[in-house]
Amino acid sequence: MRYRQIGFFFASWLLISAAMADVLQLKEGYPESYVVQKGDTLWDISGHFLKSPWLWPRLWQVNPQVKDPHWIYPGDVLSLTWVDGEPRLTQKHTIKLSPAVRIEPKLAPVPTIKLSAISAFLRSDHIFPAGSNLDQVPYILGNNLNDKAMLEKQRLFVKGQLVEGRQYGVYRPGTIYKDPQTGEVLGQRAILAGIVTAGIRHPDDVVEVLLSKNVREVLQGDRVLPLPDQEQLDAYFTLQPAQLTAPGAIIDTDSNASVAGKYEVVMVNKGAKDGIHTGDVLAILRPGVEVTGKSAEKLAYKLISTEGQKLMDSNAQRLPEEQVGQAMAFKVYDRVSLLLILKASDTVRVGFLVGNP
């Protein structure tokens, strides 16, 4: 992937009008001051003070001491003050952090979120849109060494039409994502195996390519596609609360396990066609369970109630949903989005809901 600089910053000091209408609410037990630590992110720092961390830039409004909060460094002391009835943060001084003091040219400023958590996704895996005809996509034929798995610097052959001199991604079709309610196919995970550069063309639509980079072993039959446009862009995001018209659901995790935690990646069944944008912050909700029973003495959870209880009592009641975390959309396709979990008070599972924070 080509990118000149990777960083995360708030592109505007003002969030969308709905967010600006929110009142800054300090969380219970907030500190009066905070010393920025190595490894902190802007999200982490805001989480010490605010109930809604994405409103963090408003803490810095009308603060002449700090022109750009992205140039906050480990060792900086942030103190809470009040202006016109709203909280503000001021930067008073810098203290020594063992083993080194702050030296601006050598220490990196505090990022918005942890880049390392999503860097692999910014340059690798993506989603085949629903309806993609993979039978028409060029694919790896192999090499003249009879290798089933191929490595960097090898010359390979591709069946299909490629443009000489252009770089392509080699993708392995993965999980097919379906809407958990309707069963509709939303897309298919495309797992990056490597990057090739197209060379000379041979008869019968065979193209010689150089395998310039391995992410994993390249196999016969892997598809060859242009790198998606979003893979070529710098990763800049504006954080704002999502504005979904209907809740979505977590349909997969990065590890293909059924659970995930803070700074792990999940996939949801909402995308650009549902109003999701990169930088949107969503609430993660544990679904309410159903309970049965017409009286206090006969209460039971429907999931673990006996067959007799289920037959005798059809008046099930669903408990309210419970917020257990927040996540940010960092890669958005038509019907699927990839989210980074920024906060989780409990294990996040496939099947949990996502909604407006």
User: What residues contact 113, with CB distance under 8 A and at least 6 apart?
Assistant: 8, 41, 42, 43, 328, 340, 342
Q: What is the pLDDT of residues 171-209, one digit of tens each?
A: 999 889 999 989 999 999 888 899 999 999 999 999 999
The residue among 209 and 227 whose pLDDT is bigger is 209
Q: The pTM is what?
A: 0.66
Alpha helices in 95-182 (DSSP H): 119-122
Residue 118 has pLDDT above 60, yes or no: yes
Residue 13 has pLDDT above 50, yes or no: no
Tell me if the bond preceding 99 is cis, omega within 30° of 0.
Answer: yes
The residue-averaged pLDDT of 280-300 equals 85
pLDDT value at residue 44 = 77
Distance (Å) of CA 20 to CA 25, 182, 240, 284 = 12, 36, 10, 22
pLDDT value at residue 347 = 92
Residue 57 has pLDDT above 70, yes or no: no
User: What residues contact 27, with CB distance under 8 A and at least 6 apart?
Assistant: 47, 48, 49, 50, 51
**pLDDT-derived band at 43, boundaries 50, 70, 90:** confident
| Angle subtended at Cα 328 by Cα 326 and Cα 332, rounded to the nearest 5 degrees | 140
Take residue 227 and report the two structure tokens written for it: 């790198």
Highest mean pLDDT among 75-79, 117-121, 227-231, 314-318: 75-79
pLDDT value at residue 93 = 60
Which range has the worst mean pLDDT, 92-106, 138-152, 342-356? 92-106
For residue 161, list its beta bridge partners. Answer: none
Residue 159 has pLDDT above 90, yes or no: yes
Residue in 344, 354, 180 with CA at minimum distance from that of residue 284: 354
